[in-house]
Amino acid sequence: MRILACLGGLCLVLAFVWERGDIVRVGYQIQRLKAEKTRLERERDHLRVQLSALSAPDRIAKVATERLGMTLPQDGQIVMVNSRPASPSVPRPVPVEIRVARNDAGEGGR
């Protein structure tokens, strides 16, 4: 009977040690995940700043003119399109010839 009580006590001690080990392991895992969360939040903030800088209207205009060779539209190149269907009482717009402006000077004559 005494041996059985000792074995029971030993099992309880082993279970206690096992649980403490799990608690320590989970604590380390929590610390690691908190550090990763902080790193990812910093990366997210950096990406937001980068997105803001890349989507600035001045930068987009500069890239459009310098890299893509785009220019501002000339008279007659802008056509207003009505998004609602014309009612029968409103005359339909007259079709207009549309020409696309191209600037091949900076692109090697593609």
pLDDT digits (tens, 9 = 90+) for 58-85: 999 999 999 999 998 888 888 888 777 6
Chain centroid, CA 72 distance in Å: 30
Amino acid at 79: V
pTM to 2 decimal places = 0.50
Cβ pair 101, 71 in contact under 8 A: yes
Cα gap 77→37, rounded to integer Å: 51
**What gap in Å lies between CA 76 and CA 94, rounded to an integer?**
14
Mean pLDDT throughout 34-52? Answer: 98
